Structure 1
Protein backbone atom coordinates (compact mmCIF):
# COMPACT_ATOMS: atom_id res chain seq x y z
CA UNK A 1 0.00 0.00 0.00
CA UNK A 2 2.87 2.40 0.75
CA UNK A 3 3.97 2.26 -2.86
CA UNK A 4 0.44 3.06 -4.07
CA UNK A 5 0.20 6.01 -1.69
CA UNK A 6 3.56 7.37 -2.81
CA UNK A 7 2.55 7.00 -6.45
CA UNK A 8 -0.69 8.91 -5.89
CA UNK A 9 1.29 11.68 -4.20
CA UNK A 10 3.83 11.74 -7.03
CA UNK A 11 1.20 11.91 -9.79
CA UNK A 12 -0.67 14.63 -7.89
CA UNK A 13 2.44 16.75 -7.44
CA UNK A 14 3.35 16.23 -11.10
CA UNK A 15 -0.05 17.65 -12.07
CA UNK A 16 0.40 20.59 -9.73
CA UNK A 17 4.02 21.52 -10.31
CA UNK A 18 5.41 19.95 -13.45
CA UNK A 19 5.29 22.11 -16.55
CA UNK A 20 6.01 21.22 -20.12
CA UNK A 21 9.67 21.60 -20.96
CA UNK A 22 10.83 21.48 -17.34
CA UNK A 23 12.56 18.68 -15.51
CA UNK A 24 10.15 15.98 -14.39
CA UNK A 25 9.37 15.56 -10.71
CA UNK A 26 10.87 12.35 -9.39
CA UNK A 27 10.37 10.37 -6.18
CA UNK A 28 13.59 11.76 -4.68
CA UNK A 29 12.78 15.43 -5.35
CA UNK A 30 12.45 17.76 -2.36
CA UNK A 31 8.77 18.38 -3.09
CA UNK A 32 8.20 14.67 -2.34
CA UNK A 33 9.84 14.90 1.10
CA UNK A 34 6.61 14.60 3.12
CA UNK A 35 5.08 12.09 0.72
CA UNK A 36 7.76 9.44 0.32
CA UNK A 37 7.16 5.75 0.81
CA UNK A 38 8.83 5.66 4.24
CA UNK A 39 6.47 8.37 5.53
CA UNK A 40 3.48 6.36 4.37
CA UNK A 41 5.06 3.15 5.68
CA UNK A 42 5.21 4.63 9.17
CA UNK A 43 1.58 5.76 8.98
CA UNK A 44 0.47 2.34 7.71
CA UNK A 45 2.43 0.56 10.43
CA UNK A 46 0.72 2.72 13.03
CA UNK A 47 -2.67 2.08 11.44
CA UNK A 48 -3.11 5.84 11.16
CA UNK A 49 -5.91 6.02 8.59
CA UNK A 50 -6.61 9.66 9.37
CA UNK A 51 -2.93 10.61 8.96
CA UNK A 52 -2.81 8.84 5.61
CA UNK A 53 -5.97 10.60 4.50
CA UNK A 54 -4.55 13.98 5.52
CA UNK A 55 -1.34 13.40 3.52
CA UNK A 56 -3.22 12.20 0.44
CA UNK A 57 -5.80 14.96 0.89
CA UNK A 58 -3.05 17.59 0.69
CA UNK A 59 -1.95 16.15 -2.62
CA UNK A 60 -5.53 15.84 -3.88
CA UNK A 61 -6.12 19.51 -3.15
CA UNK A 62 -3.14 20.46 -5.30
CA UNK A 63 -4.18 18.08 -8.07
CA UNK A 64 -7.77 19.36 -8.03
CA UNK A 65 -6.53 22.92 -8.31
CA UNK A 66 -4.27 21.93 -11.20
CA UNK A 67 -7.17 20.44 -13.19
CA UNK A 68 -9.44 23.42 -12.57
CA UNK A 69 -11.39 22.25 -9.52
CA UNK A 70 -14.48 20.12 -9.12
CA UNK A 71 -16.37 22.29 -11.58
CA UNK A 72 -14.41 20.80 -14.47
CA UNK A 73 -14.92 17.26 -15.82
CA UNK A 74 -11.48 16.00 -14.71
CA UNK A 75 -11.92 17.63 -11.34
CA UNK A 76 -15.38 16.18 -10.76
CA UNK A 77 -14.12 12.64 -11.20
CA UNK A 78 -10.98 13.31 -9.17
CA UNK A 79 -13.11 14.85 -6.42
CA UNK A 80 -15.39 11.83 -6.39
CA UNK A 81 -12.45 9.43 -6.15
CA UNK A 82 -10.83 11.54 -3.44
CA UNK A 83 -14.12 11.50 -1.53
CA UNK A 84 -14.24 7.71 -1.70
CA UNK A 85 -10.72 7.61 -0.29
CA UNK A 86 -11.53 10.12 2.45
CA UNK A 87 -14.59 8.15 3.58
CA UNK A 88 -12.64 4.95 4.31
CA UNK A 89 -12.37 4.12 7.99
CA UNK A 90 -9.90 1.23 8.00
CA UNK A 91 -6.65 0.44 6.20
CA UNK A 92 -8.40 -2.32 4.27
CA UNK A 93 -11.04 0.13 3.05
CA UNK A 94 -8.27 2.36 1.62
CA UNK A 95 -7.07 -0.31 -0.84
CA UNK A 96 -9.63 0.03 -3.64
CA UNK A 97 -9.92 3.85 -3.52
CA UNK A 98 -6.13 4.34 -3.60
CA UNK A 99 -5.83 2.07 -6.64
CA UNK A 100 -8.65 3.98 -8.37
CA UNK A 101 -6.96 7.31 -7.57
CA UNK A 102 -3.59 6.06 -8.81
CA UNK A 103 -5.05 4.77 -12.07
CA UNK A 104 -7.03 7.95 -12.69
CA UNK A 105 -4.10 10.25 -11.97
CA UNK A 106 -1.90 8.16 -14.25
CA UNK A 107 -4.48 8.44 -17.03
CA UNK A 108 -4.77 12.23 -16.83
CA UNK A 109 -1.03 12.92 -16.71
Structure 2
Protein backbone atom coordinates (compact mmCIF):
# COMPACT_ATOMS: atom_id res chain seq x y z
CA UNK A 1 0.00 0.00 0.00
CA UNK A 2 3.05 2.27 0.38
CA UNK A 3 3.36 2.59 -3.38
CA UNK A 4 -0.34 3.35 -3.72
CA UNK A 5 -0.14 6.14 -1.11
CA UNK A 6 2.96 7.58 -2.75
CA UNK A 7 1.25 7.49 -6.16
CA UNK A 8 -1.80 9.37 -4.87
CA UNK A 9 0.48 12.01 -3.33
CA UNK A 10 2.49 12.27 -6.55
CA UNK A 11 -0.59 12.71 -8.73
CA UNK A 12 -1.95 15.39 -6.37
CA UNK A 13 1.34 17.29 -6.34
CA UNK A 14 1.57 17.05 -10.12
CA UNK A 15 -1.85 18.70 -10.39
CA UNK A 16 -0.83 21.37 -7.91
CA UNK A 17 2.66 22.25 -9.09
CA UNK A 18 3.40 20.92 -12.56
CA UNK A 19 3.08 23.30 -15.48
CA UNK A 20 3.35 22.72 -19.20
CA UNK A 21 6.66 24.58 -19.48
CA UNK A 22 8.39 22.89 -16.53
CA UNK A 23 9.98 19.53 -16.04
CA UNK A 24 7.67 16.85 -14.60
CA UNK A 25 7.56 16.17 -10.88
CA UNK A 26 9.10 12.80 -10.11
CA UNK A 27 9.04 10.54 -7.05
CA UNK A 28 12.55 11.64 -6.02
CA UNK A 29 11.82 15.39 -6.19
CA UNK A 30 12.19 17.42 -3.00
CA UNK A 31 8.46 18.22 -2.96
CA UNK A 32 7.83 14.49 -2.41
CA UNK A 33 10.08 14.22 0.68
CA UNK A 34 7.20 13.94 3.17
CA UNK A 35 5.24 11.64 0.86
CA UNK A 36 7.86 9.02 -0.01
CA UNK A 37 7.07 5.35 0.07
CA UNK A 38 9.32 4.88 3.13
CA UNK A 39 7.43 7.53 5.11
CA UNK A 40 4.11 5.91 4.29
CA UNK A 41 5.61 2.49 5.05
CA UNK A 42 6.54 3.61 8.54
CA UNK A 43 3.06 4.99 9.16
CA UNK A 44 1.52 1.78 7.86
CA UNK A 45 3.69 -0.36 10.14
CA UNK A 46 2.60 1.79 13.07
CA UNK A 47 -1.04 1.48 12.01
CA UNK A 48 -1.32 5.28 12.15
CA UNK A 49 -4.49 5.80 10.11
CA UNK A 50 -4.87 9.42 11.25
CA UNK A 51 -1.38 10.45 10.08
CA UNK A 52 -1.85 8.69 6.75
CA UNK A 53 -5.17 10.44 6.23
CA UNK A 54 -3.64 13.78 7.25
CA UNK A 55 -0.83 13.50 4.69
CA UNK A 56 -3.16 12.40 1.89
CA UNK A 57 -5.67 15.10 2.83
CA UNK A 58 -2.96 17.76 2.58
CA UNK A 59 -2.03 16.61 -0.92
CA UNK A 60 -5.66 16.39 -2.01
CA UNK A 61 -6.21 19.92 -0.69
CA UNK A 62 -3.43 21.19 -2.95
CA UNK A 63 -4.94 19.34 -5.91
CA UNK A 64 -8.37 20.78 -5.10
CA UNK A 65 -6.91 24.29 -5.21
CA UNK A 66 -5.43 23.52 -8.63
CA UNK A 67 -8.89 22.38 -9.78
CA UNK A 68 -10.44 25.63 -8.51
CA UNK A 69 -12.03 24.02 -5.47
CA UNK A 70 -15.18 22.02 -4.85
CA UNK A 71 -17.32 24.31 -7.00
CA UNK A 72 -16.13 22.60 -10.17
CA UNK A 73 -17.26 19.14 -11.30
CA UNK A 74 -13.75 17.67 -11.01
CA UNK A 75 -13.24 19.32 -7.63
CA UNK A 76 -16.53 17.97 -6.29
CA UNK A 77 -15.66 14.43 -7.36
CA UNK A 78 -12.16 14.66 -5.90
CA UNK A 79 -13.63 16.01 -2.66
CA UNK A 80 -16.15 13.15 -2.52
CA UNK A 81 -13.45 10.53 -3.06
CA UNK A 82 -11.26 12.20 -0.46
CA UNK A 83 -14.14 12.17 2.05
CA UNK A 84 -14.57 8.43 1.47
CA UNK A 85 -10.86 7.95 2.21
CA UNK A 86 -11.04 10.16 5.31
CA UNK A 87 -14.01 8.18 6.63
CA UNK A 88 -11.96 4.98 6.90
CA UNK A 89 -11.28 4.01 10.49
CA UNK A 90 -8.97 1.01 10.05
CA UNK A 91 -6.04 0.13 7.84
CA UNK A 92 -8.17 -2.41 5.97
CA UNK A 93 -10.76 0.26 5.14
CA UNK A 94 -8.16 2.56 3.54
CA UNK A 95 -7.39 0.51 0.45
CA UNK A 96 -10.62 0.68 -1.59
CA UNK A 97 -11.11 4.48 -1.34
CA UNK A 98 -7.38 4.96 -1.93
CA UNK A 99 -7.57 2.98 -5.16
CA UNK A 100 -10.57 5.07 -6.25
CA UNK A 101 -8.61 8.27 -5.51
CA UNK A 102 -5.60 7.04 -7.47
CA UNK A 103 -7.68 6.05 -10.48
CA UNK A 104 -9.50 9.38 -10.53
CA UNK A 105 -6.31 11.41 -10.18
CA UNK A 106 -4.70 9.34 -12.93
CA UNK A 107 -7.66 10.01 -15.21
CA UNK A 108 -7.59 13.78 -14.74
CA UNK A 109 -3.83 14.24 -15.18
Using the alignment, how far apart are the partners of 2:63 and 2:80 within structure 1?
Answer: 13
Structure 1 SS opposite 2:88: coil
Long gaps (5+) in structure 2: none
Point out where structure 1 has 5 or more consecutive residues left out of the alignment.
none
Q: Secondary structure at the match of 2:71?
A: coil
1:71 and 2:75 aligned: no
SS, match of residue 24 in structure 1: coil
Shift of 1:21: 1.8
Deviations 1:12-71 (A, max 9, x none): 000000000210000000000000000000000000000000000100100000001011
Distance in 1, Cα, partners of 2:88 & 2:22: 36
Instruction: Provide the residue aligned with 1:30 in structure 2.
Output: 30
Q: How many residues align?
A: 109
Residue aligned with 2:10, SS: helix
The TM-score, its normalising length taken from structure 1, stands at 0.99
Hey, what does 2:40 align to over in structure 1? 40
Equivalent residue number for residue 13 of structure 1: 13
Structure 1 match to 2:101: 101
**Segments ≥4 residues shifted beyond 4 Å:** none
Instruction: Give the root-mean-square deviation of aligned CA atoms.
Output: 0.4
